[in-house]
Amino acid sequence: MISMDDHKRYYKVAFGLAVFTILYNLAEGILSTYLGFTDESLVLFGFGTDSFIEVISGLGIAHMVIRIRRNPGSKRDEFERTALRITGFAFYILVAGLVITSCYNIWTGHQPITTFWGVVISGVSILVMWALVLWKRKVGKKLQSEPILADANCTLVCVYMSVILLVSSGLYAWFGLPYVDSIGTLGLSYFAFKEGRECFEKARSDRYCCCD
């Protein structure tokens, strides 16, 4: 058991991590979509768009932390369910756009100008997101909070997507492999679809994470 002062301190840390996640994803989204557009890298552009969607999800997480701090035994409220539904719809729209554009790029043989920034951004993202996973797990264990631990586990999806961006961007930057940008985008689409499905599953129930 932890003291009441430590209890309050760890909840402040949890809220701070949620806010940092929102701000980081916002900055990552702006940078990635801009560079993805100028470099004609669909996988980087899609990665950035996913980051914007994660901002919406992050708002729901920040609200959740405030709720469970005030009432640890409370259930998911309407604000969180609405945020989950909006996030789910946004992921499905993203998936449709990425799949269609990927297939078009493969059909026309379109290649990005460069994927250098994809390598840089993905490398930074892996480090930041993995640190967030470890920190959220530490806070969740200290507070014995299932919601915070679930959020930490779901943050792993961002690590997986960053790895896809790193691999696809690296293979094109170093070996010039054709279609790898589009194939990487389809990989992002797979995880985005899973995230969208999980958002709707969580919105319909009181489970905190449908991630596996």
Residue pair 188/164 in contact (Cβ under 8 Å)? The answer is yes
Q: What is the pLDDT along the chain (212 residues), one digit of tens a residue?
A: 677 777 889 999 999 999 999 999 999 999 999 999 999 999 999 999 999 999 999 999 999 999 999 888 888 899 999 999 999 999 999 999 999 999 999 999 999 999 999 999 999 999 999 999 999 999 999 998 888 998 998 899 999 999 999 999 999 999 999 999 999 999 999 999 999 999 999 999 877 654 44
Q: Per-residue pLDDT tens for 132-159? A: 999 999 999 999 888 899 899 889 999 9
Q: What percent of the chain has pLDDT over 70?
A: 97
Cα–Cα dist 48/36, whole Å: 8
Q: What is the pLDDT of residue 212?
A: 45
Q: How many CA atoms does the CB half-sphere of 68 hold within 13 Å?
A: 24
Token digits of residue 185: 């985008």
Residue 40, Ramachandran bin (φ over 0: left; ψ between -120 and 50: alpha; else beta): left
Cα–Cα dist 20/129, whole Å: 11
Mean pLDDT of the chain: 93
Residue pair 41/165 in contact (Cβ under 8 Å)? The answer is no
Cα–Cα dist 117/114, whole Å: 8
Cα–Cα dist 67/72, whole Å: 7
Cα–Cα dist 126/166, whole Å: 9
- pTM attached to this predicted model: 0.94
